[in-house]
């Protein structure tokens, strides 16, 4: 049994962190020979570095990141391209991705305080990937 449901990755802040991790994961997967746990750990270190640089709290744990990769392997999650910013974000596999708008372009009111940091992290991730 996997310890978490896919729903956690869809909530606003976790989704941005999960998408950031996936940007590194996908980049390393197509540009290095890294695979399996090694690939996850290396991607996670890049995520942590980015979080530290942005002065943000770590929202995604290594266990969650590993779980998310398992969800992708099981085709329970997919990447969706935001029609506003063109960034790629984690989405449910069964959700339609046409017309998808990400959490940064469609910001909930309560998100205010972390907005700038999250935007910086996400745009950095998009630039990297």
Binding site residues, Zn ion, CB under 5 A: 82, 84-85, 102, 105
Task: Report the residue number, 41 or 108, with the smaller CB distance to Zn ion.
Answer: 108
Q: Give least dist CB 12 to Zn ion, A.
A: 13
Task: Report the residue number, 40 or 126, with the smaller CB distance to Zn ion.
Answer: 126
* Residues 6 or more apart whose Cβ sits within 8 Å of residue 2: 67, 70, 71
Q: String of b and e for 28-39 (b: at least 16 CB within 10 Å)? A: beeeeeeeeeeb
Among 45, 114, 108, 106, which residue's Cα sits nearest to residue 80?
Answer: 106
Task: Report the residue number, 70 or 92, with the smaller CB distance to Zn ion.
Answer: 92
Residue 11: DSSP 8-state: S
Q: Give least dist CB 72 to Zn ion, A.
A: 20
Q: Give least dist CB 84 to Zn ion, A.
A: 4
Query: What angle (nearest 5°) sits at the alpha carbon of residue 40, between those of residues 10 and 62?
Result: 60
Task: Report the residue number, 18 or 102, with the smaller CB distance to Zn ion.
Answer: 102
Q: Give least dist CB 18 to Zn ion, A.
A: 15
């Amino acid at each position: 049994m996997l310890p978490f449901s896919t729903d956690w990755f869809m909530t606003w802040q976790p989704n941005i962190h999960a998408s950031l991790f996936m940007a590194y994961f996908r980049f390393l997967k197509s540009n290095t020979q890294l695979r399996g746990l090694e690939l996850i750990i290396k991607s996670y270190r890049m995520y942590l570095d980015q979080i530290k640089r942005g002065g943000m709290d770590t929202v995604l744990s290594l266990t969650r990141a590993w779980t998310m990769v398992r969800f992708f392997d099981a085709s329970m999650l997919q990447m969706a391209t935001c029609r506003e910013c063109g960034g790629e974000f984690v989405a449910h596999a069964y959700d339609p991705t046409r017309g998808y708008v990400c959490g940064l372009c469609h910001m909930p009111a309560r998100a205010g305080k972390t907005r700038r940091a999250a935007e910086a992290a996400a745009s950095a991730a998009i630039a990297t990937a």
